[in-house]
Amino acid sequence: MASSFYDYDDLLVDYEGLCGELEIITDVLELARDKEDEQTILLLHTVTHALKHIVSEHKNQASDYRKKLATVPTIEV
Residue of 54 and 2 predicted with greater confidence: 54
Is the CB of residue 63 less than 8 Å from the CB of residue 31? no
Q: Give the DSSP H/E element, type plus range, for residue 9.
A: helix 9-32
What would the pLDDT profile of 1-14 be if each residue is shown by its tens digit? 444 555 566 777 77
- The predicted model scores a pTM of 0.60
Quick check: 63 pLDDT over 70?
yes
